Amino acid sequence: MNKAGFTANQVATLSDRDSGIDKAIIRMNTSRIDASGKDRKKFRRRQPVSVTNLDTGLTTMAYVMGGQLARDEVAIDYDCRHALGLKFKDRSCQLMIKPAGKFMVIKHYITHADLGYRLSMQLGLLGASLGAYGVAKDIVAWMIG
């Protein structure tokens, strides 16, 4: 089973309603979106994806949405452009878009530019690690007796 993924050759600017550091939207041609999620060669709506600029090697994460764009074109906001090392007026580039794994999503939110997202993820990971430490400590104490 092939996973979704493609290389975009053109980049457009998102509208103001889709822009913002809290939204992280990447719009692409609707033929690349499968609303049901059954076709693994297409992206699901709101699926987290890894976006890599093949020219600079910089990577960021965004969420897929459909749009009326050319098949090899994507639309991203200013923050995504900045993270990928693109200038605001750049129209042609080589962007590799592929599904993001769980660790990519966690890494993105641990280093997020918005303090609210970053702090909540860091506190959540701290709580999970302290919980795992407590469980391991109790198991060792129970085994020793």
* Sequence ranges of the domains in the chain: 6-101, 114-144
| Segment 78-122, tens digit of pLDDT | 999 999 999 888 889 999 999 999 999 999 999 988 899 999 999
Which amino acid, residue 55? D
Domain 6-101 belongs to what topology?
Barwin-like endoglucanases (2.40.40)
Check: CB of residue 100 under 8 Å from CB of residue 16. no
- What pLDDT sits at residue 22? 76
Residue-level length of the chain = 145
Q: Classify strands 48-53 and 92-99 as parallel, antiparallel or unpaired.
A: antiparallel
Check: CB of residue 50 under 8 Å from CB of residue 59. yes
Which amino acid, residue 119? L
2 band by pLDDT with thresholds 50, 70 and 90: low
| Segment 25-64, tens digit of pLDDT | 999 999 999 988 788 889 999 999 999 999 999 999 999 9
68 band by pLDDT with thresholds 50, 70 and 90: very high
